[in-house]
Amino acid sequence: MAAKPTFSQEISNLLYASQGSPLKNCIQCGTCSGTCPVVNYMDQTPRRLIGMINANLKEDVLDCNTYWFCASCYHCTVRCPAKIDIAEAMYAVKRYSIWHKTYSEDLVGPTFSETFVKTIINNGRSFEPVLAPTYMFSMGIKEVLQEAYMGTQMMLKGRMPVLPTKIKRLDNFKKVIRRIIPMGGEK
């Protein structure tokens, strides 16, 4: 019977399909945090998050907002001198957090991510009018009106579809998805 995996092992297991080097290869140079366009909104820099994962500081990692603020621009991944796929590591921690329901209720990120992924699985593409409400209500009334106004304008200009559109050969796409994400239930 193998010993219970440590937190850092669990995260590296979630990265099994990633092309990058293991998180343990991190030399703590700070290229990722220096590059990150949203680092000012994070309570821990990406470099420190990797350090905390390697140190098995599970609670501290799950408590911070770093991975929810990651914009997935992959700039860090491109520049990392240790070839670690940092953006992918952020996804790994996001998944861990969603599966273990460790995120706080008022956080928009998890609901947003789930709605986004579900829309993609069902339609093969994103649909903003469904996605927007998942985060809009966390904003002030003024911002909501602003967003709604911009949405309407975009619809009028034909930049955003009024009804959800689906991609061609959606069945094939779903088969691909089913291979990547084990969803259980339906065949």
Size of interface with other proteins, in residues (CB under 8 A): 21
| Nearest to other proteins of 31, 134 (CB atom) | 31
CB of 23 to other proteins, least distance (A): 14
Decide: residue 28, CB within 10 A, 0-12 exposed, 13-18 middle, 19+ buried: exposed
Q: Is 66 in the site for other proteins (CB under 8 A)?
A: no
Q: Which of residues 5-64 bind other proteins (CB under 8 A)?
A: 21, 27-36, 39-40, 44-45, 47-48
Half-sphere exposure of 166 (CA within 13 A, CB side): 11
* CA 63 – CA 47 distance, rounded (Å): 16
| Nearest to other proteins of 20, 164 (CB atom) | 20
| Nearest to other proteins of 31, 115 (CB atom) | 31
Smallest CA-to-CA distance from 53 within 105, 87, 12, 110 is with 12
Q: Quick check: 94 and 68 in contact, CB under 8 A? A: yes
Output the DSSP codes for 17-54: T-SSPPGGG-----HHHHH-TTGGG-SS-HHHHHHHHH
| Nearest to other proteins of 32, 132 (CB atom) | 32
* CA 90 – CA 169 distance, rounded (Å): 31
CB of 69 to other proteins, least distance (A): 13
CB of 44 to other proteins, least distance (A): 7
Binding mask 79-118 for other proteins (x = CB under 8 A): x-xxx-----------------------------------
What residues make contact with other proteins under the rule CB under 8 A?
21, 27-36, 39-40, 44-45, 47-48, 79, 81-83
